[in-house]
Amino acid sequence: MPSSLPAAVRNHLAALRMLLVLTVITGIAYPLVVTGIAQTAFSHQANGSLVHLNGHVVGSSLIGQNFNLMKNGKDTGKPDPKWFQPRPSAGGYDPLASGASNLGPNNADLVKTIKERRAAVAAFDGVNPKDVPVDAVTASGSGLDPDISKAYADEQVDRVARARGLDPAAVRKLVADNTHSRAVGFLGQDYVNVVNLNLDLAKAG
Partner 1 sequence: MNDTLAGWLQALALIGALALSYRPLGDYIAHVLTTPKHLRAERFLYRLGGVNADVDQRWPVYLRSVLAFSAVSVIFLYAFQRLQSHLLLAIGMKAVPPGTAFNTAASFVTNTNWQSYSGETTMGHLVQMAGLAVQNFVSAAVGIAVVAALIRGFTRKRTDRIGNFWVDLTRVTVRVLLPIAFVFAIVLVAAGAVENLHGVHEISTIVGDKQSITGGPVASQEVIKELGTNGGGFYNANSAHPFENPNAFTNWLEIYLLLVIATSLPRTFGTMVGDKRQGYAIVSVMALIWVASVVLVTVNELHSVSSTAGHAAGGMMEGKEQRFGIWASALFATSTTLTSTGAVNSFHDSYTPGGGGMTIFNMMLGEIAPGGTGSGLYGILILAVITVFVAGLMVGRTPEYLGKKLGSREMKFASLYILTTPAIVLIGAGTAMSLRGERANMLNSGPHGFSEVLYAFTSAANNNGSAFAGLTVSSDWWNTALGLAMLFGRFLPMIFVLALAGSLARQQPVPVTTGTLPTHRPQFVGLLSGVILIVVGLTYFPALALGPLAEGLH
Residues 131 to 170 in contact with partner 1, rule: CB under 8 A: 133-135, 137-149
Per-residue binder mask for partner 1 (CB under 8 A), 54-73, x = binder: --xxxxx-xx-xxxx-x--x
Residue 118 vs 172, nearer CB to partner 1: 118
Contact between 178 and 200 under an 8 Å Cβ cutoff? The reply is yes
Phi, psi dihedral angles at 142 (to 5 degrees) = -85, -20
156, with CB counted inside 10 A (0-12, 13-18, 19+), is buried
Q: Of 196, 163, 193, 161, which is closest to residue 58 (Cα–Cα)?
A: 196
Yes or no: say if 178 and 197 are a contact pair by the CB < 8 Å rule.
yes
What is the closest distance, in whole angstroms, from the C-beta atom of residue 76 to partner 1 in the complex?
A: 10
**Helix or strand run (H / E) with residue 36:** helix 30-41
Q: Which is nearer to partner 1, 26 or 167 (CB)?
A: 26
Nearest to 146 by CA among 193, 100, 189, 184: 193
| Side chain identity, residue 37 | I
Q: Is 81 in the site for partner 1 (CB under 8 A)?
A: no
Judged by CB under 8 A, which stretch of 47-55, 120-128, 161-169, 170-178 contacts partner 1? 47-55
| Distance separating alpha carbons of residues 92 and 49, to the nearest angstrom | 20
- 41 scored as a contact of partner 1 (CB under 8 A): yes
Name the nearest CA neighbour of 117 among 76, 79, 69: 79
Cβ closest to partner 1, residue 25 vs residue 169: 25
Stretch that binds partner 1, among 41-49, 120-128, 157-165, 169-177 (CB under 8 A): 41-49
Q: Which is nearer to partner 1, 94 or 177 (CB)?
A: 94
DSSP for residue 97: G
Number of residues that bind partner 1 (CB under 8 A): 102
Question: Measured from the CB atom, is 104 or 165 closer to partner 1?
Answer: 104
Site string for partner 1, 98-137 (x = CB under 8 A): xxxxxxxxxx--xx--xx--x--------------xxx-x
